[in-house]
Amino acid sequence: MENQQQNMTGSWQLNCPVEIPAETDRVTLAHGEGGRLSRKLIQERIVSVLKNECLEVSGDAARLPRIAGSLALTTDSFVVSPLFFPGGDIGSLAVYGTVNDLAVSGARPLWLTLSLIIEEGFPLLILDRVLQSLAEAASSTAVKIVAGDTKVVPRGAVDGLFINTAGVGELTEPVPPGPEFLAEHDELVVSGPIGQHGIAVLAAREELQFDPLPHSDCGSLLKAVEQLRGALGDRICCIRDATRGGVAAVLQEWAESSGLTLSIDERRVPVSPGVRGMSELLGLDPLHIANEGTMLIAVRQGAGHEAVSVLQTLSKTADARVIGIVKARGVAPVTVKRTLGPEQPLHDPLGSPLPRIC
């Protein structure tokens, strides 16, 4: 409750790049009551920005065309604080997060649903800004927002704005078989510098002064995944976007699913100087920090460098690297070789909690 109160007076006003006039229009409880104001809010501010042929305002469900392949379905909720951070905002995050989940699962993203839970008193100007960003992200990834819901809750019941998106995609062959099918000697590739999102959000939230300010990697992985799958086909075993818990959490999950040991070399993992400096200062390990546009890919033996070459042709994944290898199960499920010293176990993130990072 306390946190919410503080943020109500602070975060969206302090961290939002839009100047908010004192006498601005704000969301009221009436906007969520289903009457004229609700319809006005949905029509004029939401549908007008997101419009597409599948988005039917009057119906209770979207009617979607038949498609040939099998379906993939995913859902994610977004509660990031602050709503705007260097490199992104809750709107773009809500689209890219779900699009990336579909893409790394082997699907072509088609349709999204969008649920907004808005706190009473939330400035409409900021809502417009979030929706604009959301629409741009949807358009850039060619997904359509086809259904949605809006709720307004009393002050303090949420912190500004929470968003849920669900996404449907069409699976395209060959679908990566998944981490249960990892094999010894498979190679581990990371698509770009890690830890950017978590550090950017943390720096924005705590108003930490860093020069240059770390930017979130918040963005679509769709193109990179498409190119990679096109080039490597069935030599890809599994792909995962390394969100909460960072690269370490993905490695742990894969090690658990496969029963093998995943071993990485810290010296090969790309980390920007800003993220590295801030991690050192705060006692964090970049391997544990969240990403929102960076993925881990496991490919068959010998395919690692080809994967890196393909990724490096795209600007977003120009820093892709082979960072490790899959081995027979040793003492620890995941190990890391650091600059100095012996190979060490890499645990799930512990210690300093970084809540509400996405």
Q: Which amino acid is at 298?
A: A
Considering the complex, state which of residue 234 and residue 280 has its C-beta at the smaller distance from another protein. 280
Considering the complex, state which of residue 164 and residue 261 has its C-beta at the smaller distance from another protein. 261
Considering the complex, state which of residue 61 and residue 350 has its C-beta at the smaller distance from another protein. 350
Site string (326-355) toward another protein, x via CB under 8 A: ----xxx--x--xxxxxxxx-x--xxxx--
Closest distance of CB 331 from another protein, Å? 5
Closest distance of CB 252 from another protein, Å? 14
Considering the complex, state which of residue 154 and residue 345 has its C-beta at the smaller distance from another protein. 345
Closest distance of CB 200 from another protein, Å? 16
- Structure tokens that stand for 157 in this block: 């019941």
Determine whether 13 is exposed, middle or buried from the number of CB atoms within 10 Å of its CB (0-12, 13-18, 19+).
middle
The answer to whether the CB of 327 falls within 8 A of the CB of 256 is no
Site string (175-214) toward another protein, x via CB under 8 A: -------------------------------x-x------
> What's the CA gap between 257 and 249, in Å, rounded?
12
Closest distance of CB 327 from another protein, Å? 11
Phi and psi of 108, rounded to 5°?
Answer: -95, 115
What is the rounded (10 degree) CA torsion for 5, 90, 243, 67?
Answer: 140
Does position 276 bind another protein by CB under 8 A? yes
Which parts of this chain interact with another protein (CB under 8 A)?
Answer: 2-3, 6, 9-10, 206, 208, 273, 276-277, 280, 282-283, 330-332, 335, 338-345, 347, 350-353
